[in-house]
A and B are shown apart, each in its own frame.
Chain A
């Protein structure tokens, strides 16, 4: 299967600081990546769709100025949580879409645990 990595795997930061999370597709190029958030005992919630070379598309209720997404290359997308607060503490997961074959398949990264103190 395809490999998607995330860095860091966990981060603890103080309230008011910004945190950047990287998502890389290691063995395929991805024009489209996705960012999800998962709170404890809940399912994944799609935050935004990241398209290489263009602006991200955010889901309803997700603040685009707070969650900055950059997809500057075919293998890297970044999510920056700006001015993080304790309520932003969550498990952030990215996925990369590999095209071709029977439909398109998304492959997920291992996730990044963000704790805001």
Chain B
């Protein structure tokens, strides 16, 4: 499985934008980039995913580098509820055997 590298932790202030980086230099052409977040004692929550183009949804934006070796999750206005561990994960769809392998993620702290 292709690996991702994320900072262990990041801090942000409430109502400011947050850019969470992820490096995935060994990504292959068929790997999707997924972002999930997890609050303590809860299951991970889907945030966003993409393949090549930048993606936007109501939660966040995903900016994917042109060479696809890195990506950035953008929270446009951080709130206290955004404090969580954010996971950047690559998945490869190979005949239905796709699976997600979680790394350590980035723990985001949002200051009031």
- Residue numbers of A with Cβ under 8 A of B are 1, 4, 6, 31-32, 34, 36, 43-46, 49, 91, 93, 95, 97, 102-111, 113
Contacts A106-B46, A113-B41 given; indicate if A46 touches B32 (C-beta within 8 A): no
Tell me the bound Cα distance from A112 to B96 in angstroms.
Answer: 26
Is A102 within 8 A of B98, CB to CB?
no
A95 to B50, CA, bound (A): 19
B residues in contact (CB < 8 Å) with A: 32, 34, 36, 38, 41-46, 49-51, 87, 91, 93, 96-105
- C-alpha spacing A32/B99, complex, angstroms: 10
A110 to B41, CA, bound (A): 8
Look across to chain B and name the residue whose beta carbon is closest to the beta carbon of A49: B99
Q: Of A6, A46, A105, which is within 8 A of B46 by CB? A: A105
Q: With A and B bound together, what is the CA distance between A110 and B43 in angstroms?
A: 4
**B interface secondary structure, majority:** loop
Q: A49-B99, A97-B98 are in contact. Are A103 and B43 (CB under 8 A)?
A: no
Distance between Cα atoms of A107 and B98 in the complex (Å) = 14
Q: A91-B41, A103-B32, A104-B98 are in contact. Are A43 and B46 (CB under 8 A)?
A: no
B42–A111 CB distance below 8 A: yes
